[in-house]
Structure 1
């Protein structure tokens, strides 16, 4: 019997990016359990060994997806915040809206991001996560400096409450407990409650 060889090309113009794009599509449509380097290579049209130039194993691919996800979340939040100008309530509203839309538009990716972040030795993912979460802390510090939030309150504690609110709304939408069409209204209510509950006591 003649030897069967893989005649697909080893090289690809931008293999790493192509693998991440294909992996995210599989993640979104079928879940992380269905991700396999060999299958991705077949889809892209390269040899089954080619992906290992960038990702030595499946976990390395998952970690790279998580890092890319946090980078994209950071860009999303910064773009939304920049578009809101200097007005603190507008920046809060833009940030909360941007986060929840990212979380509901990329539910599988977000779950992977947080799962990988808490895996042992996930240093690169933890570092990637610091940017978007640091942005939220900066937003709270701005509110305190402008007198919109209670000065002297534990910034991290306020940030955790804000994050928990956003995650809770996203989880309700992603879990099909709440109609996605209610998202914007829920975020608006959350914004109003956050600003009212954290403002200085007169």
Structure 2
């Protein structure tokens, strides 16, 4: 995808996502991203001072996209659909998801990343609060339990540990798993 003119930052992000999808986030290099984008090896440094800055931008973008997906799912009012949205996001944005869950590759103290992660976390926790209205259970712990379940399912699907048929519907699989999340009776 050689860059011609327009938004170089976006072109670099898209090219980096492609590279992450092929090689994983740890193998990413600014030089390779520049080569793939058809720009000089110094061009990425106009937007990203180093590989960590590029990965941080990808992680922040991924968390923001996830927060948007969760917000849309929350509008339906069904708690389980938040989990479905998480798994669908992860499996339809595998490069973003890989960067988001790669500890130490992004700057955890980046304000944009912190804000995007906070928005996603808030969507999960607010979904739990609505789901457990009146319950005596700790909403933050319940949100962590639900997040762990759907994150694990997404990782298992992406790693091929959950074999899916070519025509399999990831949302239906996620819905079947998240249907196990019911308030205590």
Q: Is 1:162 aligned to residue 146 of structure 2? A: yes
- What residue ranges of structure 2 are gaps of 5+ in the alignment? none
Maintained 8 Å contact 1:73/1:102: yes
Q: Which has the higher contact order (CA 8 A, sep 6+)?
A: 2
Question: Which has the higher Rg, Structure 1 or Structure 2?
Answer: 1
Q: Is 1:107 aligned to residue 98 of structure 2? A: no
Deviation at 1:156?
0.7
Q: Is 1:132 aligned to residue 120 of structure 2? A: yes
Query: Mean Cα displacement is larger for which, 119-128 or 129-138?
Result: 119-128
Aligned pairs, number = 179
Deviation at 1:45?
2.8
Q: Is 1:142 aligned to residue 130 of structure 2? A: yes
Q: 1:102 to 1:171 in 2, by over 3 A?
A: same
- What residue ranges of structure 1 are gaps of 5+ in the alignment? 1-8
TM-score if structure 2 supplies the norm length? 0.84
Q: 1:116 to 1:159 in 2, by over 3 A?
A: same
Counterparts of 1:142 and 1:177, CA distance in 2: 32
Instruction: Provide the residue aligned with 2:69 in structure 1.
Output: 76
Maintained 8 Å contact 1:169/1:186: no
Instruction: Provide the residue aligned with 2:16 in structure 1.
Output: 23
Larger helix share, 1 or 2: 1
Counterparts of 2:30 and 2:102, CA distance in 1: 20
Q: How does 1:1-202 map to 2 (within 5 A)?
A: 12-82=5-75, 84=76, 88=77, 91-116=78-103, 121-124=108-111, 125-145=113-133, 151-180=135-164, 181=168, 183-195=170-182, 198-199=183-184, 201=185
Deviation at 1:59?
1.0
Deviation at 1:96?
1.4
Maintained 8 Å contact 1:38/1:48: yes
What do the CA deviations read for 1:91-140 (whole angstroms, capped 9, x no partner)? Answer: 22322111101112233421321224786653332332111111010111
Counterparts of 2:159 and 2:37, CA distance in 1: 32
